[in-house]
Homo-oligomer: A and B are copies of this chain.
């Protein structure tokens, strides 16, 4: 917004101002998550951070280096949630996972979007970062805990821990991935009430299944639709 035309040269050490490096990291995190790294120019990131584009190359060497830093920051935050869930033994991991994971994504839906987009990007160097910094560690933590719960008799004995984890993550993550599509059609919005509803539904479906004949009573009540589903967002120009 503010043109912020600063002259060249090292700035006077202002104690309050965050340094340019973290400013770039924060700005890029938001922009990359929202629209994808490819669709955001370095000039745009620099402007949002209030510094010149050359700072990206100074601190991160590349646009790719900036992207990598953004990715690593995001991955570490999601991994912390997984570690917390896997570390507790008060309840079945699967239940704790559904609860904490959905609420974490609800608090910041941009995280799974960033991950999924870069997984799909086909860029092997990003995939490697995600695989080694997140997936590998998550797989070391969760399936063994699921296996524990199976042994303890809290889950069916014939479950495959890894496929189960795959289904579990899918159920939790997909609503957030599909959100941009479903919001206008189903009319749902991200708020604490929605998270509560989604957690309750997912927990019960995962635990009891869809076929169970006796309704246990703890299912999510009411439908997700609330707003006007037919209103539609203001149609933008057909061609641009």
Chain A residues at the B interface, C-beta cutoff of 8 Å: 34-36, 38-39, 61-62, 64, 94, 113, 116-117, 119-122, 124-125, 127-128, 130-131, 135-136, 139, 153-164, 166-167, 169-175, 177-178, 180-182, 184-186, 197-198, 201-202, 205-213, 215-217, 219-225, 233, 235-236, 238-240
Q: Is the CB of B217 within 8 A of A158?
A: yes
Q: Given A116-B116, A212-B209, A139–B62 Cβ distance below 8 Å?
A: no
Most buried by B among A120, A164, A172, A223: A120
Q: Given A162-B186, A170-B173, A236-B124, A178–B62 Cβ distance below 8 Å?
A: no
Q: Which residues of B contact A240 (CB under 8 A)?
A: 64, 125
* Extra pairs beyond A61-B239, A162-B223, A163-B197 (15, CB < 8 Å): A35-B121, A39-B122, A64-B240, A113-B120, A128-B233, A128-B235, A136-B185, A156-B215, A156-B219, A159-B205, A159-B210, A163-B223, A166-B182, A205-B209, A209-B212
Q: Is the CB of A186 within 8 A of B217?
A: no
Q: Is the CB of B206 within 8 A of A135?
A: no
Q: Which residue in B181, B233, B238 is a CB contact (below 8 Å) of A135?
A: B181
A215 CA to B150 CA in the complex, in Å?
A: 12
Q: Which residues of B contact A211 (CB under 8 A)?
A: 154-156, 207-208
Q: Is the CB of A35 within 8 A of B163?
A: no
A64 CA to B240 CA in the complex, in Å?
A: 8
Q: Is the CB of A210 within 8 A of B210?
A: no
Interface of A is mostly: helix
Q: Which residues of B contact A34 (CB under 8 A)?
A: 122
For the complex formed, measure the closest distance between the CB of A208 and the CB atoms of chain B, giving whole angstroms.
4
Q: Which residues of B contact A39 (CB under 8 A)?
A: 38, 121-122
Q: Which residues of B contact A180 (CB under 8 A)?
A: 119-120, 122, 127
